[in-house]
Amino acid sequence: MNANFSSRGIVPCPLLHEHRARFLFSKNSFDLYCCRQCGFRFVHPVPADTSAVYGVDYFSGAERGFGYVNYNEDKIAMRPFFERVLDGVEQAARTRGSLLDIGAATGFFLKLARGRGWRVRGIEVSRWAAREAKRSGLDVLEGTLESSPWRAPLFDAITMLDLIEHVPDPRRTLERAFAILRPGGVIAVNTPDVGSFWARIFGMHWHAYCPPEHLSYFDQRNMQAVVRECGFEVVSLTKIGKRFTPAYIASMLWRWQGLSLWRRIGRAVERTRLNQLVLPVNIRDNMFLIARKPVFLHAGDPVNRAMRKTV
């Protein structure tokens, strides 16, 4: 990085590089910055290694203020959301070919997609989760998209569900996704919306501000801007709700409000049948984007040049 940039002063925006960002606040001992032009928010400096975040305890307990209460129960509650994602992908792609899920966890979404006729593959940064997925017969590679061996266009659909906010360089991830997506293929991305009403009301206490788990924070405007700059055509951008167990909702409220009461309630509820309930939640702070790679590209345009550079 340029020596003229101070760690608590003005730094380059990693999303739209010609922009500059200012220090916003610190949380969990990490500094967050906000781009003056596009509004993108991000952790700076990026932690050297975040792989330790995604151990087995990330999927059970959420004791550190992030992660899942009990992934095996939480993922079942998420099934209607996953089905809705697949509905959107299939409508946009008009085919059920090859699908790559980035951030596949233990493969629950991949199993649903495979059951609907997709040929599925996944990639997952958590060693524990990738191994669990492989044990269930899924083709899931341990690592990140940037470290993967894929270079040529291989996939008809790529999904990034609750993934891109974890990525330190989301633009690079989107560029790599563009490179390995077939012409006419689609990406589906969902992520918290930092421009939402509740994000603005709660500020740094908003539940999605949870570094080092979340490193990148989008609003609808800059999400569409970077997707287009990476060569995609935006098909749709909507607010989307999810379903959660009562214990997960209590955990989210603990992160949001910082009250230990919610933490105690979550622990108590988790041990009862009450936690088998699945409750719909849509506070409109989660956005869902579908975008398509154009079928025809001109050899000399910026998109093709960026793609060749990425490949």
Q: What is the per-residue pLDDT across 123-159, written as a single tens digit (0 to 9) for each?
A: 999 999 999 999 999 999 999 999 999 999 999 999 9
pLDDT average, residue stretch 245-270: 69
Kindly indicate whether the domain formed by 52-310 is annotated with CATH number 3.40.50.150.
yes
Pairing of the two strands 140-142 and 155-161 = unpaired
Is 59 a residue whose pLDDT tops 90?
A: no
- 3-state class of 153 per DSSP? coil
259-267 long-range contacts (CB < 8 A, ≥24 apart) are 266/69
Query: Are 248 and 69 in contact, with CB atoms under 8 Å apart?
Result: yes
Query: Are 277 and 74 in contact, with CB atoms under 8 Å apart?
Result: no
Indicate the domain borders of the chain: 1-45, 52-310
Question: Phi, psi at residue 52, to the nearest 5°?
Answer: -65, -20
What percent of the chain clears pLDDT 70, i.e. is strictly above it?
A: 79
- 3-state class of 125 per DSSP? coil
- For residue 17, the model assigns a pLDDT of 77
Query: Are 187 and 160 in contact, with CB atoms under 8 Å apart?
Result: yes
| Interval 170-209: pLDDT, tens | 999 999 999 999 999 999 999 999 999 999 999 999 989 9
Query: Are 17 and 199 in contact, with CB atoms under 8 Å apart?
Result: no
- For residue 308, the model assigns a pLDDT of 43
pTM: 0.84
1 or 120: whose pLDDT is higher? 120
- Distance (Å, whole) CA 199 – CA 285: 7
- Distance (Å, whole) CA 91 – CA 23: 41
Q: How far is CA 20 from CA 11, 13, 126, 149, 168, in A?
A: 6, 5, 32, 33, 17
